[in-house]
Amino acid sequence: MSLQGEFSINCSARTISESGTHCEHCSRAVTRQSFSSLLAEPLQQVNRTWVLFRGKQLTYFGGCDYFRLASHPEIISAFNEGVKRFGLNVAASRFTTGNHRLYERLEDELCRFFGVESATLVSSGYATNLVLAQALAGEFSHALIDSRAHQSLYDCLPFLQCPHSKFAHAHVPALQAAIRKRKASRIVLLTDGLFSHDGSLAPLQTYLDVLPGGSRIIVDDAHGAGTIGQRGRGAAEALGVSSNKIIQTVSLSKAFGVYGGAILGDDALRRKLLCGSRLMRGNTPLPLPLAHAAFRALQLLRSDRSLRKRLEDNTRSVQTALQRDGLSFPQPPTPIIAVNPSNPAAARRFSSRLMRHKIFPTQIQYGNSAPYFRFAISSEHTREQLDGLISACLSA
Ligand SMILES: Cc1ncc(COP(=O)(O)O)c(C=O)c1O
């Protein structure tokens, strides 16, 4: 069976059920032979905002390299310098012989950037939530998770060692009903800060208001970190919320363009992470050139305000144009535009229109939810590229 076209862009599935007839994550018909087509078709980057796709050069609004730091000359040069000076790998956990002053410098820079007492480096953004849950195991009587939370937050639930339940996405009455039903006093709420599927923000202040005392909120801010808030500190800063009940986890692979992740909080939390997580203790840390490049990326984003200003201007210009056509966007603005075609035929038509406007059709599907189009605006897209996106969406 050929699945050419059907899986041409994206599918989150990675496994096929025993029968080999449908994917256990997205329920699409697949065979064992078609396994490789579950991955997206490879794309070739041509330069910072263009890709080569099926022989055509197209504007790229995919990925989440919001400032294109992954190809910024200073970040590349920090990486190359890191290779020359330090080699690749410490080949041991930081608890044995694998600690290095670069990791400590990077953690200090993370503290400065995010204005927190402690930052604990983890080898990926995905792993931050797992490490955190291992360290907090047994502290809570119930976990409540937003139904659209990132899969890494779902994966960390078993480590928390308490019952858990879902509440409807960002829906405060549903959350309140769940709190009443559980009669739990020590709740941990798990949510993304900036949801990448539609650019919305978690209503963090309301969550703080309705949660019982003794509760905590784990905010996976992989997309908010670096991109939103006056200093790029993420969802809580963008919403004007500050609370020591919030624990923020961040990725260095999106706005910072490199790789790795960090858990932000106070010294007491750091102590728990270092003492209470097996993953933290047994994992080789980030390759040293990446740590060196991430350090430079944080410094650059902290000192060069023009990057964030350009991202805000680009976001505002696209959203303002689309708002005039009746589309609405979450407030405060975030650099993600989601377009949900009403049916597969409308999706195919939109995809063709994007191609005509020389835009790569970034179609996304998570699990069983309907496929949709997501456009991540960057600080480096040109006026012409943004106008192309506006025209394609307006004629939708
Ligand atoms: C919300 C969210 N959390 C965590 C991750 C994982 O981060 P990383 O790619 O750094 O492992 C992602 C990556 O897509 C994400 O979107």
d(CA 165, CA 292): 40
Higher pLDDT, 21 or 74: 74
What pLDDT shows up at residue 15? 35
**CB-CB neighbours of 342 under 10 Å:** 8
Residue having the nearest C-alpha atom to atom 16 of ligand 1: 222
CB-based contact 10:37 (threshold 8 Å): no
Higher pLDDT, 54 or 244: 244
How far away, in angstroms, is 124 Cα from ligand 1 center? 8
How far away, in angstroms, is 128 Cα from ligand 1 center? 9
How far away, in angstroms, is 345 Cα from ligand 1 center? 31
Average pLDDT of 103-107? 98
Cross-strand partners of 191: 219
Average pLDDT of 53-67? 94
**CB under 6 Å to ligand 1: residues?**
124-126, 150, 152, 192, 196, 220, 222-223, 251, 253, 261
What pLDDT shows up at residue 37? 64
What digits encode the pLDDT tens for the residues 233-288? 999 999 999 999 999 999 999 999 999 999 999 999 999 999 999 999 999 999 99
d(CA 254, CA 25): 25
Q: Is the pLDDT of residue 369 over 80?
A: no
Q: Could you tell me which of 137, 140, 308 has the C-alpha nearest to residue 214? A: 140
d(CA 255, CA 144): 28
pTM beyond cutoff 0.95: no
Q: Which of 30-34, 297-301, 338-342, 359-363 has the lowest mean pLDDT?
A: 30-34
Query: What domains, with CATH codes, occur in the chain?
Result: 43-66+305-394 (3.90.1150.10), 72-303 (3.40.640.10)
Region class of 219: left (phi > 0), else alpha (psi between -120 and 50), else beta: beta
Q: What six digits make up the tokens of 312? A: 């805000």
Residue partners of 189: CB distance under 8 A and separation at least 6: 143, 144, 145, 146, 175, 207, 211, 215, 216, 217, 218
Average pLDDT of 105-124? 98
Average pLDDT of 45-52? 89
What pLDDT shows up at residue 35? 59
What digits encode the pLDDT tens for the residues 279-313? 999 999 999 999 999 999 999 999 999 999 999 99
- Atom nearest to 261 CA in ligand 1: 10
Could you tell me the pLDDT band of residue 131, with boundaries at 50, 70 and 90?
very high
How far away, in angstroms, is 188 Cα from ligand 1 center? 20
How far away, in angstroms, is 130 Cα from ligand 1 center? 12
Q: What is the mean pLDDT of the chain?
A: 90
Percent of the chain past pLDDT 90, that is, above it, reads 77
